[in-house]
Structure 1
Amino acid sequence: MIPWPRRLRNIIIRALIRAISLLCPPVHTLFSRIRSSPGVPIKDPSTSYWTLCPSPISRHGADGDLPKYADIVVIGSGITGTSFARAILDYDALHGVTGKPLCVLMLEARDVCSGATGRNGGHITPMLYRDYTELKAVHGIDMARKIIRFRLSHFQELLSVATEENLLEESQCREVEALDAFYEPSLYNEAKGKLETYKKDLPEESSRYQIYEGSDEIKNLQLSRLTVGCMSTRGGAVHPYHLVTGILARLLRVYPSNFYLFSHTPCTSISGPESAEGLYSLETPKGTIQTPHVVHATNAWASHLIPGMREKIIPARGVMTAQGPRPGLGEGSKKKRPTAWTGQRSFVFYPSNSFDVYDYLTQQPAADSAVSIYPKSAGELMFGGGFGRDNGFLTEVGNVDDRGWNSRTASYLQGALSDYFKVDDNDSKEEVKATWGGILGISVDQQPWVGRIPATITSRGSVFGGAPTATNLAAPGEWMAAGYTGEGMVHAWQSGKALAYMVLGIDEGGILDWLPEVFRISEERWKEVEIEDLIASFLNL
């Protein structure tokens, strides 16, 4: 039940939107896009720098014949789908869930890992103190702590996974110093207040925070004199494409008879379940496949196959660049005690007086080993953001065309690093090596959606009766992990893993105590959250 003050606020926002839409065609077009299906991912997207050297499995199964049946069909080959497949296949191999190997089939509309995972900034550094005070106000202190700890768990989890998969070097998964840099005194002071609250409520998790202030400290960080102050803590960074495609390649090798991966095979529609066995029919250009379990790992595209998620998970197009660093950047200040940091720092820059306007940067480490199927990295700066500038949301929210990008945002990103960094007396600029677009999925309540999808939301029948089937999995149904609101690297892996446990039917006995309950999909949550909540949040209403 929506509280009356919130309901009244949303009614007012809705009325204002309708009025503005009548007077402003771009606003009318924006909300028309939001209400529409995102369709399947568009062919021939822009080329992400991460994928310039494609994985050997990038087109795996593109020309293969689709089987008629699988125990589980996963739609999407990014980090969520990969986490799910790894967890369920490896668990089944150890425990023999059904008495014979589970048949898991993965569908991908384009090249493998060509969506948001292969297009993001490579950060494994969550928003912590910035979000904590609002999380606490909305969900209470215990749930706020749980959400923060869930986000923080991703770095160590991904580091462990990369190690287990023998991908530590190839994936560049590593610890970095994560710095938040501020350029407006008012926002910096607000941030310090938020950090104090965070440190008080989460002393262990905040123990590594440091504050850098004063011209000497800022200069030694090679930041420009425009920087008001910095906060730093432990973070992580990764080459997301190498990590995901490396894991999928291992699954294909280890499970050749029961794991199938079909790239360039979009799922265009789902019907059913129409039989006593509870089988869904998934249509693709290669034909129909039936399965009792459909796993949606499509994030921004989720509402194409799940119409009920329109205006619940909203696509938005962002921009990323890869830039060669200017000489001396990362080598430390030569006028002070040098601290080399190439590949060992990540940054979030707040150039205005709003937390909603920010840019983000990781740097690839300079490779010193030739043991890889890929070319060596050269310390490229992976720089994105600019989303909240110049009313860019009017053209980018609801936009799923990642063949291109917002040209004004790209122009800004191609020059912004000159304002953020200062390398002694060197006035040279970064060399832009690549620019590309990517689609993120914004959840209207800003929390992921994880779990079984009620039939009310899918508009398809359900055979869920609470009891396991003969296969010893959970009862047949549709499942989803999506809606990461631009923070997929600190939500997606563990969400996909949690979903695997749910499908396995072992979501009991505390095994998923680490999953925040507010992430779980329910009909009540679906009915309660509205797009006006997201608008109110951005407007601080």
Structure 2
Amino acid sequence: MSFVQALLSNPAIPVQDRQRALDRVFSDPGLPTTNSTSSFWLRSPHPDLANAQSATLPSEAEVVIIGSGVTGTSVARTLLKSRKAGKSGTTRPAVVILEARDICSGATGRNGGHILETAEKFASLEDTYGLEAAKRIMRFRLAHLREILDAAQEYGLTQDCQARRVQFLSIYFEEEGWKDARERLRRLKEGLAEETKEWRAYERGEIPEEFCLPHAQGIVAGPAGAIWPYRFITGVLSRLRREFPQDLMIETNTPITGIQENPDAGDDPLRYTISASRGMIRARHVIHCTNAHVSHLVPSLRGRIYPIRGQMSAQHAGQKFRCQGEEHSWIFNYDRGFDYLTQLPQSEAGQMMMFGGGFAQGEGGGIADLGIAADSELSLYADIHLSGALSVVFGRDNWGSVPRASVDKMWTGNMGFSADGLPWVGQLPASLTKRGVHGEGYGAEWVSAAFSGEGMVLAWLCGKALATMLLIHDDQLLQTESRDLSWFPEQMLVTEERIEKAVLPRYI
């Protein structure tokens, strides 16, 4: 979170601009907008799920999941595959997913599809939490490449969602940044020698010509992945719905207007009443998987979890550029900020360059995007930057001309950031929800959110961990094989201590 704190403390940015950003951070993010920018990933809506809705909103459910992206889908998958089938003896569905807009139309349908872990994170984690915690968190993050690609294969989605392994190239253009990067790589390889055997550094004179990176001072390279996120998530949900037709219901275009808990429910396990645009549904558990919008329904999380607007594009490559969609992905590190890029392999969608970033080049160095919870508008300066950067970083001689409009789509999305840079995962205490005292073995509100722009190496397993916590908590649903959580970093848990400490200052 150092870049956010740097923005908020930067004397070169007018105090009023910084305070306005903080005011937005502590404001209600509201519901997702109805007039969002058009994401390339959503170009072909899923024929069965895009607007999935039952004729009448179900009146009851064991678990209501709010949000239909990576996190909500991972939670649903774990619950459905691990729960005790038929334990409650009721006919109500086990899981109901509620989505304010079309299926998977939030951050998951707008991100870069980049399953990427670089050497940047480890050193700061070690400095903050110590060596052993840093190693555990990094192992958790690194595991996402295998977990996501394995899930795509399990459901027969590998080809459709273009799930693939690539080599990431993290490029540095100036010597000071490259010097720091080498030191961070050294620390990572020293701390996780076995896990980073494939990682290496290319000094300027060692960079292969076929990389087409004439301005690079140095490159860190290692294993990564890329995926069409919308196709992956809708594919998983479609197969889960076929596998569990009585236990999974998906209700799109059903925004939530409120949640009430009845602490005097007695023997009634359905403690929660969720009010939605299409009616009300009573539930045993409520799970918040709404990331940037989570504090709309849990106001006490404002300042702890907050939205930031990000920008993505789909662009045509230059005529001279060799398609590397099944070989590489890229991170371009500048003196201020970075950009990220994958390229689609040859398909009906073309060899599109999926290029995102430009945050530091935005208005006020990004301060104008801090606290923005709407994806309905573009950042002009990010647009200018993203629209012209690729021919420069790859070299105009390597890029060539583009025989059409270079930018096919430009869109925005909202990321949920946390004040301490880690996800929030676990049961929400009454001190945050203000909705009563939870009874043991009964209903509870849960959260898995705040991936700070790195959801592809955090969200899937955070969802799995949260579902496992719920199954352990509620012995009416538990299966014994779901008890192991030794792999989950405790630093990501919701705790009273963290609630107290992990919050941005309210005023400059």
- TM-score above 0.5: yes
d(CA) in 2 for partners of 1:325, 1:425: 11
- Alignment-mate amino acid for residue 45 of structure 2: P
Question: What's the CA shift string for 1:459-492, capped at 9, x where partnerless?
Answer: 1112233xx3xxxxxx320001000000001000
- Alignment-mate amino acid for residue 366 of structure 1: Q
2:391 to 404, 408, 418: 418
TM-score between the two structures when normalised by the length of structure 2: 0.91
Aligned 1:266-281 pairs, distance under 5 A: 266-274=255-263, 275-276=265-266, 277=268, 279-281=271-273
State the partner residue of 2:414. Answer: 439
State the partner residue of 1:108. Answer: 99
1:141 aligned onto 2:131: yes
Contact 2:361–2:385 (CA under 8 A) maintained in structure 1: no
Question: What's the CA shift string for 1:490-524, capped at 9, x where partnerless?
Answer: 00000101111111125999601110000111111
CA distance change for structure 1 residues 482 and 316 in 2, over 3 Å: closer, same or farther? same
d(CA) in 2 for partners of 1:425, 1:510: 53
Worse-superposed segment, 341-350 or 68-77: 341-350
State the partner residue of 1:370. Answer: none
Question: What's the CA shift string for 1:428-454, capped at 9, x where partnerless?
Answer: 258211000000011110000111111
d(CA) in 2 for partners of 1:245, 1:296: 19
Question: What's the CA shift string for 1:346-398, capped at 9, x where partnerless?
Answer: 1010021x5xx00000111113xxxxxxxx23111100001122524322111
- Alignment-mate amino acid for residue 444 of structure 1: A
d(CA) in 1 for partners of 2:445, 2:432: 10
Question: What's the CA shift string for 1:197-239, capped at 9, x where partnerless?
Answer: 111111011111122233573532111x221111100111111
1:398 to 348, 356, 371: 371
2:30 to 24, 39, 49: 39
Unaligned runs of 5+ in 1: 1-9, 332-340, 368-375, 469-474, 536-541
State the partner residue of 1:344. Answer: 327
Unaligned runs of 5+ in 2: 473-477
d(CA) in 1 for partners of 2:353, 2:326: 9
1:362 aligned onto 2:342: yes
Aligned 1:253-268 pairs, distance under 5 A: 253-268=242-257
1:235 aligned onto 2:210: no
Tell me the SS of whatever aligns to 1:176: strand
CA distance change for structure 1 residues 212 and 197 in 2, over 3 Å: closer, same or farther? same
Q: Which consecutive segments of 4 or more residues in structure 1 shift more than 3 A?
A: 57-63, 95-102, 423-427, 506-510
- Alignment-mate amino acid for residue 422 of structure 1: G
State the partner residue of 1:302. Answer: 294
Measured after TM superposition, the shift of residue 96 of structure 1 is 5.4
- Alignment-mate amino acid for residue 525 of structure 1: R
Aligned-pair RMSD on alpha carbons? 2.5
Measured after TM superposition, the shift of residue 57 of structure 1 is 3.2
Question: What's the CA shift string for 1:400-453, capped at 9, x where partnerless?
Answer: 120112011011101000111137565325821100000001111000011111
TM-score between the two structures when normalised by the length of structure 1: 0.86
d(CA) in 2 for partners of 1:443, 1:40: 19
Tell me the SS of whatever aligns to 2:114: coil
- Alignment-mate amino acid for residue 22 of structure 2: F
1:119 to 110, 126, 145: 110
CA distance change for structure 1 residues 532 and 133 in 2, over 3 Å: closer, same or farther? farther
Measured after TM superposition, the shift of residue 99 of structure 1 is 5.5
Contact 1:316–1:440 (CA under 8 A) maintained in structure 2: yes
- Alignment-mate amino acid for residue 259 of structure 2: I
Aligned length in residues: 490
Contact 1:218–1:227 (CA under 8 A) maintained in structure 2: no
State the partner residue of 2:492. Answer: 519
Contact 1:20–1:27 (CA under 8 A) maintained in structure 2: no
1:319 aligned onto 2:311: yes
Contact 2:172–2:218 (CA under 8 A) maintained in structure 1: yes
Worse-superposed segment, 133-142 or 206-215: 206-215
Tell me the SS of whatever aligns to 1:521: coil
- Alignment-mate amino acid for residue 283 of structure 1: S
- Alignment-mate amino acid for residue 378 of structure 1: G
d(CA) in 2 for partners of 1:425, 1:489: 30
1:287 aligned onto 2:267: no
